[in-house]
Amino acid sequence: MKTEKKSLNVPVNKQGLKKKRSFSRKAIYTLLILLTLISIVPFYMMIINATRENQAILGGFSFLPGSALIENYRTMMDYVNIWNGFKNSLIVSVSVTVLSGYFSALTAFGFAVYEFKGKNLLFIFMLLMMMVPGQLGLIGFYELNNAIGTLDTYIPLIVPAIASPFVVFFLRQYLSTTLHPSLLEAARMDGAGELKIFHTVALPIMMPAVATMSIFTFIGSWNNYIVPLVVLFSPEKYTLPVLMGFLKGSQVATNLGSMYLGIAISVVPIMVAFLFFSKYIISSISAGSIKG
Amino acid sequence: MKKLNHKGYYFIAPFFAIFLVFNIYPVLLTFYYTFTRYEGYGKPEFIGLENYTRILTDGYFLEAFINTWKIWGLNFALQLGIALFLAALFSDLRYRIKGIGFFRAVFYLPNLITISSVAILFNIMLDWQHGSINMFLMKIGLISDPINWLNEPATAQISVALILTWMWFGYTFIVLMAGVSGIPGELYEAALIDGANRWQTFVHITLPLLKPIMLYVMITSLIGGLQLFDLPMLITDGLGAPEGSLNTMVLYLYNQAFRYNNYGYAATIAYALFLITVLFSVVTFRSMYRTNAKKEG
């Protein structure tokens, strides 16, 4: 009985609403464009101001670029070598992403494929620790690295990535739906060792999930501020976020054009990467939230 | 049932070795420090519960607690409001708004950017005399005199909350839209046929069915919000200026440890923060669950 009603009423309703709707649609698009501008304009201003002279920026507001880009760049590089920070961030983030991806896959495989004593207990323990915020152990973490002599190195930034509970959790869930036991049995019949089975059978199957997690691991590591701030002392070892804080406290801060340029250099690569990965990132967020 | 196989241990061994050293041990060590006076050199001196009595009477910690909540609360209300409104617009069958892929990506963009860069960017743009934001607002005639955003406690807190909203509304919108897309389209069609207006559709269909996902958004946002650090650290002097209004709990922790070398007390702040986080997550979870149960029952 409902279907009958549906076919009769909907077109009529639509006709009746048409006039009112076209007006509010205009208002909605205006609002959406306004929000779009709010999201983009700070970055636009950053890029524009990176090309303007200090005096011009102090003097007033402009939507048009200036001609002081090279000058600003020289001023900035005189005090702070931003590309060095860029390189450091890249070394740390790539290492973290690779270690976290590989070892999480390994751990997830161990949990998904084998039965052993204490397995569930260990898994639950891992999940519980996942809830603990990073700051809880910060003081102890600093003291630990102080004791073993790894302060002012990248070890405390990179090595802990081997233990990434959330990635393990995600990959284990993924494996339990995609890895069929018969695949493993077939490989064992061929005489492959367990580690070889992991590398040749399981890892390729996990790759899409590893890639998804890798994007977030990379971004998280790239944006991490408090840990490198605490463990690194030498400016030449600073990662980009720490270098940004250093830039603010340095001589460069007196030249706004150079400041904007420094910020722009730290921001633009991520924005460019986002152009390529945005669909992927957004669908991952959507998927994660529904499962989570 | 699979048979027991000790080989599994080899696969999980590297994870747990590193986890133990770099995760569990620091957490336990920090707990030990909560009972000590320790200035980063020499031996930690055991002082019993002194740090705990101190934190309960510490006005600065209370202030940091209140600041963190104010900033998070304002930010979350705005961010959820905008995201819900957008989700309602995009899920409305009568509007058929195009370009959701584009809008989602653009709204999400600020979330991706390194917070420390965002903090320094807004530190310059919110400058009283030379900041782009005042210059722009004066140019379009919205204000006649420049506002000293980062120099007054109220405006400084509002600025930080608004920056957080700016960074997070797109993310929340994406997550809510994921929830909306899980709502069967027939429900909306049925509502349309029954002549429900937009508000009724939103209140009686979208909102109740989004509850689980809103709970997810709220708890993750709360946990992140209570750890607010990068933005207040870098947008002013790193000590919580103006007048301590941007002194958040983690900023206080950081300064106690790494500026004043009070490691023992900083460790206690860390544990207090952890307890507060757990407590409020449980309260949020239970209150959301209870209202749900009431409606269904």
For position B292, which CATH number holds?
A: 1.10.3720.10
CA angle B8, B17, B33 (to 5 degrees): 145
Q: What is the dihedral of CA A253, A255, A257, A258, to 10 degrees?
A: -60
Checking if the pLDDT of A9 tops 50, the result is no
CA end-to-end span of chain A: 39
d(CA A242, CA B142): 36
Query: Does residue B36 belong to any structural domain of this protein?
Result: no
% pLDDT > 70, chain A: 91
Interface test with B, best of A135, A215, A254 (most B CBs within 10 A): A135
Q: Is the model's pLDDT at A13 over the cut of 60?
A: no
In a domain, B139, yes or no: yes
Question: Which among A106, A115, A263 has CB closest to B2?
Answer: A115
Q: In the predicted model, is pLDDT for residue A154 greater than 80?
A: yes
The Cβ of residue B209 has, within 10 Å, a number of other Cβ atoms equal to 15
- Span A202-239, pLDDT tens digits: 999 999 999 989 988 998 999 999 999 999 999 999 99
Task: Tell me the chain A residues in contact with residue B32 when contact means C-beta distances shorter than 8 Å.
Answer: 140
Answer left, alpha or beta for residue B42, where phi above 0 means left and psi between -120 and 50 means alpha: left
Question: Are B163 and B155 a contacting pair, CB within 8 Å?
Answer: no
The domains of chain A are located at: 81-249
pLDDT at residue A37, as a whole number: 95
How many pairs of residues across A and B have Cβ atoms under 8 Å apart? 290
8 A C-beta contact, residue A264 and residue A86 = no
Residues 6 or more apart whose CB falls under 8 angstroms from that of A217 comprise A96, A97, A100, A101, A161, A164, A167
Separation CA B153–CA B148 (nearest Å): 10
Contact flag A282-B4 (C-beta cutoff 8 Å): no
Number of domain units in chain B: 1
> What's the token pair of residue B76?
């979350």
Q: What is the mean pLDDT of residues A265-286?
A: 86
What gap in Å lies between CA B112 and CA B96, rounded to an integer? Answer: 28
The residue whose two tokens read 């909560």 is B34
Task: Identify whether B164 is part of a domain.
Answer: yes
User: Does residue B210 lie within any of the structural domains?
Assistant: yes
Residue-level pLDDT at A63: 86
Ranges of chain B with pLDDT below 70: 1-3, 291-297
Which range of residues forms the domain containing residue B174?
Answer: 59-296
Q: What is the pLDDT of residue B148?
A: 93
* Residue B163 contacts residue B122 (beta carbons within 8 Å): yes
**Position B34 in a domain:** no
What pTM did the predictor assign? Answer: 0.90
Between chains, do A43 and B109 touch, taking CB under 8 Å as contact?
yes
Q: Side chain identity at B275, as an amino acid letter?
A: L
Residues 107-136 of A with CB under 8 A from B: 107, 109-111, 113-117, 119, 122, 126, 129, 131-136
Tell me if B115 and A225 make a contact (CB, 8 A cut-off): yes
Give the per-residue pLDDT at A7. Answer: 40
Mean pLDDT on A92-112? 96
Q: Does the residue B141 lie in any domain?
A: yes
> Residue A132 region, left (φ>0) first, then alpha (ψ -120 to 50), else beta?
beta
**Looking at the predicted structure, is the pLDDT value of residue A4 above 70?**
no
Report if residue B204 sits inside a domain: yes
- Span A81-249 CATH architecture: Orthogonal Bundle (1.10)
| B140, part of any domain | yes
A260: nearest CA partner in chain B: B121
Q: Is the peptide bond before A269 cis (omega within 30 degrees of 0)?
A: no
Statement: residue A2 has pLDDT above 50: no
**What pLDDT score was predicted for residue B192?**
84
Q: What is the pLDDT of residue B11?
A: 95
Distance from CA of B291 to the nearest CA of A (A): 21
User: Which residue of chain B has the CA closest to A218?
Assistant: B112
Instruction: Report which of residues B155 and A278 the model is more confident about.
Output: B155
Looking at CA atoms only, how far is residue A137 from chain B in angstroms? Answer: 4
Digit-coded pLDDT (tens) for B257-296: 999 999 999 999 999 999 999 999 888 888 877 765 655 5
Residue B182 vs residues A284, A289, B12, B88, B295: alpha-carbon distances, Å = 15, 11, 36, 14, 21
